[in-house]
Amino acid sequence: MAPSATGRGVRVALVDTGVNFAHPHLRVPGEAMAAVWEDGRVVIVAGEAADQHGHGTCCAALLHGLAPDAALIAVRVTGHRPTSDADRIAAGIEAAAAAGAHVVAVPLGTRTALRGGLDAVVAAAVAAGVAVVAADPEGPEGAAVLPAGCPGALATRHRDGVDVVGAPPILYAEGRARPAAGHAQNFWGPSLAVARVAAAVARAVEVHGSGLGAVEALSKALVVR
């Protein structure tokens, strides 16, 4: 899939626990915002995406390693706990799309039956040509994880030993980062598979053009690889 592509000119948002852009595995500039509950509603706070849990930073490091010239946008949708809800995730996706993201990666999710505005937000993003890549842990039947289960989302599952395979709306990717000297393997699974797919979409958009729409660009890249 265009091994020389680096994601240049492509904007990728990570809707997760935030990103520490100063981390040794990153050290890149990035935009930051957070979706937080305030007076019973979710609001977007610009310039705030401190990562208290490391999950988003780990995903960002893998994504950056695979698409080093993609511009990163961190959208934190968690607080003191590394979990979120449909309303914050929906607000995060909407804010990312409004910020001009070509790709919105959501390595976390919620199993709540209260979908909030997730279906509508994902549909609007996809209609605008944005790829929404979301973790799908393949849980028990009937326990769909959102936004992976939203119509239009690219549900991403972990499969050892592959790069990116499958066909939208279900994709499979390696869910482990390459080991770094002096660092133990920590996060793994569909979260890192999402980072890998998001990087692949970014490279595909660079090669095939954002005019196709990000999902169409990825589909074309997967067919011609």
Instruction: Give the model confidence (pLDDT) of 40-59 as tens digits.
Output: 999 999 998 789 899 999 99
The encoded tokens of residue 138 equal: 């393949």
The chain-wide mean pLDDT, for the chain, equals 87
Give the domain CATH number at 55: 3.40.50.200
**pLDDT for 115:** 80
Banded model confidence at residue 3, pLDDT cuts 50, 70, 90: low
Does residue 187 surpass a pLDDT of 80?
A: no
Pure H helices in 104-170 = 118-127
CB atoms within 10 A of CB 223: 8
pLDDT of residue 63: 95
Residue 9 has pLDDT above 50, yes or no: yes
The two most distant CA atoms of the chain are separated, in Å, by: 50
Domain count, the chain: 1
Domain annotation covers residue 4 = no
Interval 50-73 mean pLDDT: 94
Please indicate, yes or no, if residue 130 is contained in any of the structural domains: yes
For residue 119, the Cα-to-chain-centroid distance in whole angstroms is 16
Q: Quick check: pTM over 0.85?
A: yes
Q: What is the structure's pLDDT at 175?
A: 87
Q: Quick check: is 144 in a domain? A: yes
Q: Is 50 a domain residue?
A: yes
Q: Is residue 1 part of a domain?
A: no
Q: Which domain does 64 fall in, by range?
A: 11-224
Does the residue 23 lie in any domain? yes
**Residue among 131, 109, 120, 143 nearest 201 (CA):** 131
pLDDT at 180: 46
